[in-house]
Structure 1
Amino acid sequence: MAPKYKLTYFDFRGVGEPIRYLLSYGGADFEDNRIKLEDWPKFKSSTPYGKMPLLEVDGKEVYQSSAICRYLAKQFKLIGSNDWEALQIDCTVDTITDLKLAISGAHSFEGNEEAKAKKIQILQKETLPMYLSKLDKQVKDNGGHFVGGKLTWADLYFASQLDTWGAAKQGKSPIDDYPNLKGLYDKVNALPAIKAWIAKRPVTVW
């Protein structure tokens, strides 16, 4: 009997979206429980550490987004062929997370507009090109995927997070100048199960 999944996260994509991608890819009929921001203060105390996402598997609750993703990747055969590939996947996912944090950090509230502008300039001119050029080469060197020349959860993680990087776009996608990343993004989102999820998911800004 297939496990019963319930994902609890905010009503936007964020770090919950890689989990939704994995569940969709795996063909899981999951409950997508979305918490409104105004309801979070009263819901927060019921969570293990005051954070989301949370995943219930047959009624048993777990937390931490990367740990959840790694567990689901094992269930759906997306972890690589051996321990070395699994390590490379983890390295890639953590690198993408570092980039995501750099983007959000540069656009976070900054009372000094001059300081904020400088942070964004560094992001645009230095941080994004450094990360994206290296990730693009990694995909090129691995036959259109991040690891092992085949689909892994690192690919799904990247594709699911890219659209949340809107603050870095400034009128275009951050990967417009990186054809290998663009090809991978399009490839993942064209997978039938992922395409179906994108078509039916709630429309949110993030």
Structure 2
Amino acid sequence: MAHTYKLSYFDLMGLGEAIRFLLSYGGAKFEDFRFARDQWPALKNSMPYGKVPVLEIDGKATHQSIAICRYLAKQFKLMGGSDWEDLQCDMIVDTVTDFRMQAARFFQETDEKKKEEIMKSLIAETVPYYMSRFDAQVKKNGGHFVNGKLTWADIYVVAVFQFLQKFLKVDFVNDYTNMKALQDKVLNLPAIKSWVEKRPKTDM
């Protein structure tokens, strides 16, 4: 019997998009429950630990986006082929979180002058630092992050980059040949391509 899924998240890609990508890849039907920021105070107390995304699986609420993605990867056969390969997936996903948190400084800063300084640093230092390393790893691993095959790490990274590039208003993948090829590969997976074509249009 197929599971039922309901994803609750803000009306944006953000941390919910990797979950949507994985559910789409797995051919799972899911309710994509979105809400505006001004609706959040009324919903917060109904969420585990007061945070989203939350994925209800057969009516049971689960939280923490990476934990959810790892669970879905197991369901849809997107894990590595060994404990060592699973470790490689986890390392990449956690490193992308480090990268994302650097970008989050821009979003959190309210002083316009400081925001400008943060953006300059991101583009000149942070993006090249991480992207050059991601690109080298994908090249080394035959077009994927782990052992030349599609894993949830590939899908997770591409999904996160979808909203980060919109958020920063910079296409930082295009300058890195191997990362660009991986992004194109993931976005052209039929189920994910179908999701991207029909998903709501948001700023990030």
What's the TM-score, normalizing by structure 1? 0.94
Quote the Cα distance in structure 2 between the aligned partners of 1:189 and 1:119. 29
Q: CA deviation at 1:153?
A: 0.6
User: Following TM superposition, by how much is the alpha carbon of 1:106 offset from its aligned partner in structure 2, in angstroms?
Assistant: 3.2
SS in 2 for 1:164: helix
Aligned residues, how many?
203
- Which one-letter code corresponds to 2:162 in the other structure? D
Name the SS for the 1:106 alignment partner. helix
Q: Give the one of 185, 188, 196 matched to 1:187.
A: 185
Structure 1 residue 112 displacement after superposition: 5.9
Residue 53 (1) aligns with residue 53 (2): yes
1:75, CA displacement in angstroms? 0.2
1:16-165 equivalences in 2 (<5 Å): 16-111=16-111, 113=113, 115-165=114-164
**1:156: how far off?**
0.5
Contact 1:27–1:193 under 8 Å retained in 2:
yes
User: What is the CA distance between 1:111 and its match in structure 2?
Assistant: 2.1
| Aligned mates of 1:157, 1:54 — CA distance in 2 | 17
**Identity fraction in percent:** 53
| 1:38 partner letter | D
Report the TM-score, using the length of structure 2 for normalisation. 0.95
- Compute the displacement of 1:168 (Å): 3.2
For structure 2, the 5+ residue unaligned runs are none
Report how far residue 110 of structure 1 moved: 3.6
Partners of 1:53 and 1:63 within 8 A in 2: yes
Counterpart position of 1:198: 196
Deviation at 1:107, TM superposition (A): 4.3
Which consecutive residues of structure 1, in runs of 5 or more, have no partner in the other structure?
A: none
1:105-144, CA deviations, whole angstroms, 9 ceiling, x for partnerless residues? 134324261x333322221111110100000000000000
Does the 8 Å CA contact 2:5/2:30 hold for their aligned counterparts? Answer: yes
1:152-200 per-position Cα deviation (integer Å, ceiling 9, x unaligned): 0111111111121224344xx1012100000000000000000010111
